[in-house]
Amino acid sequence: MWVLYGLPIVHPDSLLVITINGTGFFIEVFYISMFITFSDWPKRRKMFIALLLEAIFFAIVVVITLVGLHGTKSRSLFVGILCVIFNIMMYASPLTVMKRVIKTKSVKYMPFSLSLANFANGIVWSIYALIKLDPFVLVPNGLGTLSGLVQLVLFATYYRTTKWGDEEDTNKQEIELQKSAETGQDGQP
């Protein structure tokens, strides 16, 4: 979607957006092809279905953008809003892990490098958006910066209480989480 947004017929003067996201697209194609190559048939089938649905959705967006909308302002608005929605979803995906970190008081399942990369990515794209005055890049990446910062704060807060032990600790935490979810906060079912 960001590659479409960066095209000159949609949003002029977005060379950086199209080159970075175009490169990312080809890296993703490589990754998905490796996944498909080395996975079993049920996983491949799910991936093919997901890719087909994404291709259909993207084709609909392209047709609406290029045929139904005239002028770069209306095209930028339409594709930009979609990009904001999907980018916010990407940055919000670690929320489930952050909830787990708070419940278990352990950062075992929240990789520091991913949190740092999330934070750095948000900062870099936010700075770019401020320079170019592009709200469609600024809004999701500003929120992504905040999300990354919260992850780093959680990591710093719970790093010392994390038990980096073997698989038994992991199984005990899983059982405790399941019990607390079944019985509720006060121990009552």
Residue 12, number of CB atoms within 10 A of its CB:
11
Q: Is residue 178 over pLDDT 70? A: no
Q: Read off the pLDDT of residues 53-89 as tens digits, 9 standing for 90 and up.
A: 999 999 999 999 999 999 999 999 999 999 999 999 9
- The stretch 26-33 carries a mean pLDDT of 95
User: What is the share, in percent, of the chain residues with pLDDT greater than 70?
Assistant: 87
The whole-number pLDDT of residue 41 equals 92
Least Cα distance to 135 among 5, 4, 3, 1 occurs for 5
- Degrees to nearest 5, angle at CA 31 with 27 and 83: 55
Q: Read off the pLDDT of residues 134-174 as tens digits, 9 standing for 90 and up.
A: 999 999 999 999 999 999 999 999 898 888 775 555 556 56
Please give the Cα distance from 65 to 11 (Å, whole number): 11
Q: What is the mean pLDDT of the chain?
A: 88
SS (H, E, C) the chain: CHHHHHCCCCCCCCHHHHHHHHHHHHHHHHHHHHHHHHCCHHHHHHHHHHHHHHHHHHHHHHHHHHHHCCCHHHHHHHHHHHHHHHHHHHHHCCHHHHHHHHHHCCCCCCCHHHHHHHHHHHHHHHHHHHHHCCHHHHHHHHHHHHHHHHHHHHHHHHCCCCCCCCHHHHHHHHHHHHHHHHHCCCCCC
Please give the Cα distance from 32 to 78 (Å, whole number): 28
Count of residues making up the chain: 189
* Cβ(127)–Cβ(144) below 8 Å: no
